[in-house]
Structures are given as C-alpha cells and as structure tokens.
C-alpha cells in the first residue's frame, strides 16, 4: 500500500511539473486548441496546393472565412492586440496609406509583410502560405500563386486620423 502511495505521489508530482513547464500564461487551453485547428486547416490548404501544382491545375476557388473562422478570428485579434500592447511592436512600416483590402482569390498586390513582433505571436504557416497586411486587415496569402487565400478584417487598430 505504501509503495502504491509513493508511486502515485511521484506520478502526480511529475504531471504537475510537466504542466508547469508547458504552461503559457498568454494563451488559454481553448486558444491553443483553436490555433491547432487553424494550423491543420493551413496544412490542408498547403497539401491541396501541392497536389494541384503536381497535376498542373489552377488554384482552387476560396471562400472568405474558410481558414479565419469566427473563433480563429477572435483568437488572432486577441494575439495581435497583445503583441501591439507590448510596446515594442510598430505597424508604421506596414502603413502605406492605402486601406483597400483585396478579396479572396484576388492578386495580393503590394501588401507588405507582417512585422516579426506580430508574426511571432501567430501560429507558424506552411511554406505555401504567408501573412500580409492590407490596411487594418490581415491577409493569408498563397506565397507561390500570390493570391489572397483568406482575409481577417479589423485585425489591426485603425490608423490615427489626419
């Protein structure tokens, strides 16, 4: 009986230590699950992209909100807000004055990349995808085809008035 209690105490302490090391104060368990779901959807897009590329087919028609579902959009906006609130992150390099946002399946145009301080707060993407900024929107862009795959509106704070 005492050996069993000692083993159970050891297992409990080990489990608590593992959870303490893996705990991230900036994200809840629900946020982590949402990010995993987003990454799976992005990986699925990348896999389909590679398959169409091998078959010499054109891009699949996309629909806005396929990757940035409402739950994912909310989690992304919170992560972006936290990154900007940190004080070391600036969006001034990405502001071109043009607030137009391309539609899904449209060419990406001159949309600049996302600053590293914000990219580090977002989930990593497969090589076929990249984050871009268009006005206050976050674009998910096919890096090879240079088309917009999905749009997250109101991802960034609106620029100050004139």
Confidence (pTM): 0.76
In the prediction, which pLDDT does 95 show? 57
Strands (E), 8-157: 129-134, 137-142, 147-152
Q: Percent of the chain at pLDDT above 90?
A: 56
Question: What is the three-class DSSP state of 103?
Answer: coil
* Residue of 95 and 112 predicted with greater confidence: 112
pLDDT over 60 (residue 28): no
Max CA separation in the chain (angstroms): 75
Question: If you ran DSSP here, which 8-state letter would residue 93 be given?
Answer: G
CA-to-CA distance for 159 and 162, rounded, in angstroms?
Answer: 9
pLDDT over 50 (residue 103): yes
CA-to-CA distance for 143 and 147, rounded, in angstroms?
Answer: 8
In the prediction, which pLDDT does 78 show? 94
- What digits encode the pLDDT tens for the residues 58-72? 888 889 999 999 999
Question: What is the three-class DSSP state of 40?
Answer: helix
CA-to-CA distance for 49 and 68, rounded, in angstroms?
Answer: 18
């Amino acid at each position: 009986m005492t050996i069993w209690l000692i083993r159970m105490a050891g297992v409990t302490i080990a489990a608590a230590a593992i959870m303490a090391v893996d705990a991230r104060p900036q994200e809840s368990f629900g946020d982590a699950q949402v990010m995993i779901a987003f990454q799976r959807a992005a990986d699925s897009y990348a896999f389909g992209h590679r398959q169409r590329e091998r078959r010499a087919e054109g891009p699949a028609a996309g629909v806005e909100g396929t990757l940035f579902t409402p739950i994912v959009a909310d989690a992304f906006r919170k992560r972006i807000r936290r990154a900007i609130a940190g004080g070391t992150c600036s969006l001034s390099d990405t502001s071109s004055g043009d607030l137009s946002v391309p539609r899904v399946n449209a060419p990406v145009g001159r949309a600049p990349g996302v600053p590293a301080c914000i990219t580090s707060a977002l989930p990593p993407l497969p090589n076929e995808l990249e984050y871009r900024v268009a006005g206050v929107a976050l674009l998910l862009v096919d890096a090879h085809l240079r088309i917009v795959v999905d749009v997250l509106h109101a991802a960034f704070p609106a620029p100050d008035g004139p």
